[in-house]
Amino acid sequence: QQQVKQSPQSLIVQKGGISIINCAYENTAFDYFPWYQQFPGKGPALLIAIRPDVSEKKEGRFTISFNKSAKQFSLHIMDSQPGDSATYFCAASKNSGYALNFGKGTSLLVTP
């Protein structure tokens, strides 16, 4: 069964807007929550990741918000650009360097 649930399935945002993608998990043993960006014909590329001891992490225009009690985390892309158009996957894993459990992905389209 899907251990990480991701929404929405697709998202259209205007250039300069904020893109928000949400994920939820059940397994409280998960201790690592990365976000991956995937372009067509390419493998996923690590965008940003967070551990449950912090509630927010920001890298440039990308921010992860983490709510441990709700078992939810989200990706915010500020000032979205057409070059951000890609599929985004959230994931979760337990223990260092172990299997990643991916969400089903969100297809983001940023319009000019």
Partner 1 sequence: ETGVTQSPTHLIKTRGQQVTLRCSSQSGHNTVSWYQQALGQGPQFIFQYYREEENGRGNFPPRFSGLQFPNYSSELNVNALELDDSALYLCASSSDRVYGYTFGSGTRLTVV
Binding residues for partner 1, rule: CB under 8 A, are 6, 32, 34, 36, 41-46, 49, 89, 91, 96-105
Nearer residue to partner 1 within complex by CB, 55 or 98: 98
Estimate to the nearest angstrom the gap between the alpha carbon of 112 and the chain centroid. Answer: 23
Nearer residue to partner 1 within complex by CB, 44 or 108: 44
Q: Least distance in Å: CB of 97 to partner 1? A: 5
DSSP secondary structure, 15-27, as one string: TTS-EEEEEEE--
83 torsion bin: left (phi>0), alpha (psi -120 to 50), beta (else)? alpha
Residue with the two structure tokens 């399935």: 9
Q: Least distance in Å: CB of 75 to partner 1? A: 14
Q: State the sign of the Cα–Cα–Cα–Cα dihedral 91, 25, 93, 77.
A: positive
Nearer residue to partner 1 within complex by CB, 18 or 39: 39
Q: Least distance in Å: CB of 53 to partner 1? A: 13
| Measured CA angle at 33 (ends 44, 7), to 5 deg | 75
Nearer residue to partner 1 within complex by CB, 35 or 110: 35
